[in-house]
Amino acid sequence: MINTTFIFRTTLMSICLAGIMSGCSMNPNKPAALTIAQQGNFAAGGKIITSEGNFDDKQLFKPAGQTLHGDHASVFYQIPENPHPYPLVFLHGAGQSAKTWGTTPDGREGFQTIFLRQHFPVYLVDQPRRGQAGQSTVGAEVPATTNDQAWFNMFRLGRYPNFFKGVQFSQDPQALNQYFRQMTPNTGAYDEQVISDAMVEVLKRSGDAVLITHSQGGGPGWWTAIKSNQVKGIVAYEPGSGFVFPEHELPDPMPSATGTLAATPIKMADFQKLTKIPIIVYYGDNIPTEKNGYAGQENAGQDNWRVRLKMAQLWVDKINQHGGHAQLVHLPDIGIYGNTHFAFSDSNSDQIAQLLVDWLQKNKLD
Amino acid sequence: MINTTFIFRTTLMSICLAGIMSGCSMNPNKPAALTIAQQGNFAAGGKIITSEGNFDDKQLFKPAGQTLHGDHASVFYQIPENPHPYPLVFLHGAGQSAKTWGTTPDGREGFQTIFLRQHFPVYLVDQPRRGQAGQSTVGAEVPATTNDQAWFNMFRLGRYPNFFKGVQFSQDPQALNQYFRQMTPNTGAYDEQVISDAMVEVLKRSGDAVLITHSQGGGPGWWTAIKSNQVKGIVAYEPGSGFVFPEHELPDPMPSATGTLAATPIKMADFQKLTKIPIIVYYGDNIPTEKNGYAGQENAGQDNWRVRLKMAQLWVDKINQHGGHAQLVHLPDIGIYGNTHFAFSDSNSDQIAQLLVDWLQKNKLD
């Protein structure tokens, strides 16, 4: 019985791997139905704070003597039938939420559904103090600051109002509208330790898993793998901050048009934990490099990524120097052009997904 | 082909309707897999604000000349195979998000999955300025105010620290932990008009649908049906504010231990739109009434609902007086006891779901 199931699934998987562009369907116009064994939500981790005094149930909203539950992650998960052993746990970037991994801005299936079709359980995290995990143990102001154009440039769609030539982003105005509306603010201070503490608890629920991070999620991603031995691999799309280095082997800080990027010093024993698991880091196109003559360096939104790509290369080298298994893929170097800061939801997201499928397979994480 | 599919589905539905307690499975310990034809996210509606001046791409985060997209709803939807014609569109209450309709605090399947199993498409809304739809065109402060005990009493789990006798809520401390962590704050002022404007756009995407609201969602729910003719029925769990009455037929304001509840005056022509669709309103147990001798009236958390239940009855009567089709079900009156403010996720949520299935069927909304 087990063998039959295994063969059946292996056959299905082969068809699916070949058919990823059509959503694993016999009819390319209508993707096959998804078969979900289980789905649901949970909160993971978090803290409880308490105000001094006594609760008075005649004055319900007087804080005295009351508690507040906050700083947890909020997770939506879906487990397909015949799942791979390792779930994929997705952690979004700055100003984003679990929605990042859903439908793409131009309305196609996102990594959430693409990888369900590939029989991976998916765990989609709203990090502490963001989205549906908004209840925070520290207060915050949420100003309604106009900044769409800043993100347009920072996320390398182009140099506002112009898109980059050949950018992997739909020119339909509705796609840009959906993209801007993915943003959702912090409801408490961003804190890598608070986030990674909650992520450790997410992993306890998901079981051993592959962690997939985006941008600002990179930093808490490394910390999650330092704090938990349940992270079996990390895939980081354009990590943007929190590059951890052994405290006595720090690279020089790197000035850029958006400020100076400095490494985060950590204990060697912590750093070494990151050398035990396979790690892959992807960066997209339109990043100024020596190779392309620093084209675009005068645009702050692009220059921000010049130093991050450089730092990421030093970081990967440092991991490997200490016996690790890290790899940096700058997509143009393998002939994939036009990707923005969101390769996984770009117009060529099926191609980007296939790279990940191959990497998971190569590292026996499927 | 259509007939075969129809018969197959009808047969499945009969098995499912009989088997709702077991999640429509042959094996009560393992619910059958869900078959999802399509799922994804989208933002609906919203506004764009613009700061005066010119955008300077050397100073990315200077607001001048930039826009902000905000005040949209964020929606996760799932469409099962062989769907009923009318989707269910779920709008949460105060301090909640789409997560409200997911897994129950004690870890069972929520209405999201229960109704998918019943072949209803589900659309789960984060309202403007909440959760994953956090980007707001007006700023807000998010204080970390301790108030768990207030909600414990307001949501009628009991009188803190004691649960009500026979309450339909798990006594496992982990259930209460999950419940408190469902709360997520406003990231901009609560505004019925902003919410209902976005809901109208949600309906344009879902198509004609049945709207299911909870608590504070009741008010924007009525407005959605006033503004859109795509609402084919409303199910309101414990509406808590925004009771709309014809401007010249207002009931007297009702004082309570949590303040005075007043009706919202609207034009008769608007009110009459609510008389054209079937509406059902449910309230749970432990609400002080004449019938139960106002037991619990001295507890503010309970007394809050005394006036809301009373106002809801006047509202239903007013709808029917003008030719409408509204019904109020006070659950203890039909022999269902112990329900909190969240009947749909209480310990007896399967029973509450069956009431809704029956109502949808009776009103030809299935």
What residues of chain B, 214 to 243, have a C-beta less than 8 Å from chain A?
A: none
Residues in B touching A58 (Cβ below 8 Å): 257, 300
A223: tokens are 């910390």
Residue A209 has pLDDT above 70, yes or no: yes
Q: Which residue of A has its CA nearest to B125?
A: A132
CA distances (Å), A122 to each of A62, A93, A203, in order?
A: 40, 17, 12
Whether chain A has a CB inside 8 Å of the CB on B138: the answer is yes
CA distances (Å), A175 to each of A84, A158, A179, A250, B86, in order?
A: 33, 14, 6, 41, 27
A70: tokens are 């906050």
Residues in B touching A149 (Cβ below 8 Å): 55, 57, 60, 65-67
Q: Digits of tens for pLDDT over chain B (366 positions)?
A: 233 333 333 333 333 333 333 334 444 567 889 999 999 999 999 999 999 999 999 999 999 999 999 999 999 999 999 999 999 999 999 999 999 999 999 999 999 999 999 999 999 999 999 999 999 999 999 999 999 999 999 999 999 999 999 999 999 999 999 999 999 999 999 999 999 999 999 999 999 999 999 999 999 999 999 999 999 999 999 999 999 999 999 999 999 999 999 999 999 999 999 999 999 999 999 999 999 999 998 899 999 999 999 999 999 999 999 999 999 999 999 999 999 999 999 999 999 999 999 999 999 999
Q: Is the peptide bond before A161 cis (omega within 30 degrees of 0)?
A: yes
Give which of A149, A159, A256, A286 to mutate to test B binding, by max B Cβ within 10 Å.
Answer: A149
The β-bridge relationship of strands B244-246 and B264-266 is parallel
CB atoms within 10 A of CB A259: 12
| ipTM of the prediction | 0.92
Give which of A5, A35, A60 to mutate to test B binding, by max B Cβ within 10 Å.
Answer: A60
Residues in A touching B183 (Cβ below 8 Å): 69, 135
The top-level CATH class assigned to B37-362 is alpha beta
> Residues with Cβ < 8 Å from A334, sequence gap 6 or more?
none
CB contact under 8 A, B63 and A36: no
Residues in B touching A63 (Cβ below 8 Å): 145-147
B154: tokens are 């307001």
Whether chain A has a CB inside 8 Å of the CB on B36: the answer is yes
Whether chain A has a CB inside 8 Å of the CB on B174: the answer is no
> Residues with Cβ < 8 Å from A366, sequence gap 6 or more?
A84, A86, A120, A357, A360
A84-96: buried (b, 16+ CB within 10 Å) or exposed (e) per residue? Answer: bebbbbbbbbbbb
Q: How far is A101 from chain B (nearest CA, A)?
A: 9
Residues in B touching A38 (Cβ below 8 Å): 31
Amino acid code (one letter) for B326: A
CB contact under 8 A, B144 and A68: yes
Q: Which residue of A has its CA nearest to B174?
A: A43
Residue range A112-159, pLDDT digits in tens: 999 999 999 999 999 999 999 999 999 999 999 999 999 999 999 999
What residues of chain A, 96 to 115, have a C-beta less than 8 Å from chain B?
A: 97-99, 102-103, 107, 109-110, 113
What residues of chain A, 322 to 341, have a C-beta less than 8 Å from chain B?
A: none
CB contact under 8 A, A40 and B110: yes
CB contact under 8 A, B145 and A68: yes
Over residues A195-220, the mean pLDDT reads 98
Contact A86, A211 (CB under 8 A): no
Residues in B touching A70 (Cβ below 8 Å): 144, 181
For position A317, what pLDDT does the model report? 98
Q: Which of B279, B277, B193 is nearest to B242 (CA)?
A: B193
**Distance between CA atoms of residues B67 and B78, nearest Å:** 32
Among candidates A40, A58, A69 on the partner chain, residue whose Cβ is nearest the Cβ of B102? A40
CB contact under 8 A, A134 and B184: yes
Whether chain A has a CB inside 8 Å of the CB on B55: the answer is yes
Residue range B245-289, pLDDT digits in tens: 999 999 999 999 999 999 999 999 999 999 999 999 999 999 999
CB contact under 8 A, B68 and A147: yes
Domain boundaries, chain A: 1-33, 37-362
For position B12, what pLDDT does the model report? 36
Residues in B touching A60 (Cβ below 8 Å): 147, 149-150, 153-154, 258, 300-301
Return the beta strands (E) in B34-110 as ranges: 34-44, 47-50, 67-70, 73-80, 88-91
Among candidates B60, B139, B147 on the partner chain, residue whose Cβ is nearest the Cβ of A143? B139
Among candidates B145, B180, B188 on the partner chain, residue whose Cβ is nearest the Cβ of A69? B180
Give DSSP secondary structure letters for B5-19: HHHHHHHHHHHHHHT
For position B29, what pLDDT does the model report? 60
Q: Confidence class of residue A31 from pLDDT cuts 50, 70 and 90?
A: confident
Whether chain A has a CB inside 8 Å of the CB on B182: the answer is yes
Whether chain A has a CB inside 8 Å of the CB on B173: the answer is no
Token pair 């995990």 in the structure block, residue: A133
Over residues A65-82, the mean pLDDT reads 98
Residue A160 has pLDDT above 70, yes or no: yes
**Distance between CA atoms of residues B238 and B93, nearest Å:** 10
CA distances (Å), B130 to each of A137, A142, B29, B221, B344, in order?
A: 17, 12, 36, 16, 21
For position A29, what pLDDT does the model report? 60
Give which of B38, B54, B57 to mutate to test A binding, by max A Cβ within 10 Å.
Answer: B57
CB pairs under 8 A between A and B: 262
Over residues A294-306, the mean pLDDT reads 93
CB contact under 8 A, B57 and A159: yes
State how far Cα B42 lies from the chain centre: 19
* H-assigned helices in chain A: 2-18, 111-117, 148-154, 173-180, 192-206, 218-227, 268-273, 300-321, 349-362
What percent of chain A shows pLDDT beyond 90? 89
For position B1, what pLDDT does the model report? 29
CB contact under 8 A, B141 and A144: no
Q: How far is A90 from chain B (nearest CA, A)?
A: 15
For position B279, what pLDDT does the model report? 98
Biggest alpha carbon distance in chain B?
Answer: 69
Whether chain B has a CB inside 8 Å of the CB on A158: the answer is no
Q: How far is A135 from chain B (nearest CA, A)?
A: 5
CA distances (Å), A21 to each of A16, A18, A28, A211, A237, in order?
A: 9, 8, 8, 24, 21
CB contact under 8 A, B132 and A132: yes
What crossing angle do the helices spanning A218-227 and A192-206 adopt, rounded to 10°?
A: 60
Whether chain A has a CB inside 8 Å of the CB on B70: the answer is yes
Give DSSP secondary structure letters for A177-223: HHHHTT---BSS---HHHHHHHHHHHHHHH-SEEEEEEGGGHHHHHH
Q: Which residue of A has its CA nearest to B81?
A: A33
